[in-house]
Amino acid sequence: MKKHLLLFTFACIGAHFLSAQTFWSESFTNNCTAGCLATSYTGPNGTWTQTITGTEGTDPNVWFISCAENGNGVNTCGSSCGSAPNETMHISAAVGNFVCANDCGAKYDAGGLCGILSCPQTSRRMESPTINCANTTSAIAVSFNYIAAGSAGSDECSLWYFDGTTWALVQVIPPTNNANCNGTGLWTNIAIALPPSATGNPNVKIGFQWVNNDDGVGTDPSVAIDDVNLSVTTAVAELAVNEAKINYNTNTDQISITIDANFSNGLVAEVYSMDGKLILSQRLNTASETIAVATLATGVYIVRVSGDGKNFAPVKLAID
């Protein structure tokens, strides 16, 4: 029987930012209308790089930078380039894919036809050049405009943070409210606090990680990112909203998660390896759920719960 050691409480936190001052920006400008790979992009801050973070199929979805998904204003529905081209970094089906032959913007292959047409399982992270935060003395937030949908818990984008040594999950990026956009996304702005270790750190990176399985379930848009800013703030108030109680049962090799019923709708529990690979994912349909972990190898994992506008701080699970 494996021996597990884990922290037993998630704290759901929110942050209010005052007097933000931007010190680093990325707008993904490359004058490309379609088909330009994000792995070929070098901006004013340096080169963005890609890491494959988990198992992929033979035809994974691809990060592009182009105005095939145009960076429209906040509260505007998505579109292609139009009369005011504004490139974004986005996930689209691989070149030659039957869903889209060459970068259709934030439209992806959700799979379900592997062995017949394509096998688009995807797990890849686009990583910024090093961001020098050495001169910061207060909390740092990353903000950006985006559209997103996918499928909660399986096809989604998340924000990651590198402290100079280790990559760590910050949070899954929530879907935008796309109901009135006729199949496109509603451009939205979000601001997310980076961990305290970013302050004064000269070796920071951020990353946008996209994962999707191959089950044929998922809704466009995938994800598109634009106008990324890092800002320092004069005040950050973290609010404890609710707790998720977690226990490990040594007899069944299961983690149990109990959440106040008022907060249980639409939440997903996920287990990541320390290098950012998604190992397990399970939707929490009730206020009390269990996750089987008997198959996990010895090591340290990150467990997190998120969704429905709630962002619970990740915790570590050590398996000896």
Contact 110, 151 (CB under 8 A): yes
111 and 49 assigned to the same domain = yes
- The predicted structure's pLDDT at residue 278: 73
How many Å apart are CA 48 and CA 43, to the nearest integer? Answer: 8
- The predicted structure's pLDDT at residue 309: 53
Q: Give pLDDT tens digits along the chain (320 positions).
A: 454 444 444 444 444 334 468 999 999 999 999 999 999 999 999 999 999 999 999 999 999 999 999 999 999 999 999 888 999 999 999 999 998 989 999 999 999 999 999 999 999 999 999 999 999 988 999 999 999 999 999 999 999 999 999 999 999 999 999 999 999 999 999 999 999 999 999 999 999 999 999 999 999 999 999 999 999 964 433 333 445 677 767 678 787 887 765 655 567 777 777 656 678 778 777 778 888 888 888 777 777 777 655 556 566 676 66
132 and 208 assigned to the same domain = yes
9 and 29 assigned to the same domain = no
- The predicted structure's pLDDT at residue 249: 73
133 and 261 assigned to the same domain = no
38 and 56 assigned to the same domain = yes
Range of the domain at 308: 4-13+240-319
3-state secondary structure of 40: helix
When divided into structural domains, the chain yields a total of: 2
221 and 251 assigned to the same domain = no
9 and 46 assigned to the same domain = no
- The predicted structure's pLDDT at residue 254: 80
CATH number for 78: 2.60.120.200
219 and 263 assigned to the same domain = no
298 and 254 assigned to the same domain = yes
Contacts 24+ apart (CB under 8 A), 281-287: 281/153, 281/154, 282/153, 283/152, 283/153, 284/257, 284/259, 287/258, 287/259, 287/260, 287/261
Whether the full predicted model's pTM is greater than 0.85, yes or no, is no
Question: If you count them, how many residues does the chain have?
Answer: 320
* Phi-psi label, residue 208: left if phi above 0, alpha if psi -120 to 50, beta otherwise: beta
101 and 181 assigned to the same domain = yes
Answer with the one of 182, 203, 233 that is the final residue of a domain.
233
Answer with the one of 233, 249, 279 that is the final residue of a domain.
233
216 and 277 assigned to the same domain = no
- The predicted structure's pLDDT at residue 16: 38
Contact 281, 268 (CB under 8 A): yes
**Pairing status of strand 188-193 against strand 140-150:** antiparallel
CATH number for 276: 2.60.40.3080
Answer with the one of 233, 252, 284 that is the final residue of a domain.
233
Q: Which residues contact 216 (CB under 8 A, 6 or more apart)?
A: 110, 111, 112, 113
79 and 223 assigned to the same domain = yes
